[in-house]
Amino acid sequence: MPKQVKARKMGGSVGTTLPREFVDRYHIKAGDLLTVIETSDGILITPFNPEFEKAMTVYERGARKFRNALRELASS
């Protein structure tokens, strides 16, 4: 489902708008941060933040390992 969008000058930068169907499908709202990644195929614009995903993986590992301590701290 490729879509063409037009690059426009926005101040000192260049920007574009996202097609409505993408905004709806990925639940993007005005003010949301999107991650721009350069890939071998071009530019990837995504609401997914790989750094956040890494941090959540580390958190989940720690939460499993220390679940009893966390449960005890939560009840204090």
76 pLDDT more than 80: no
Q: Are 28 and 47 in contact (CB under 8 A)?
A: yes
Interatomic CA distance for residues 27 and 57, integer angstroms:
23
Q: What is the mean pLDDT of the chain?
A: 88
Mean of pLDDT values over 46-70: 84
pLDDT tens-place string over residues 15-40: 999 999 999 999 999 999 898 989 99
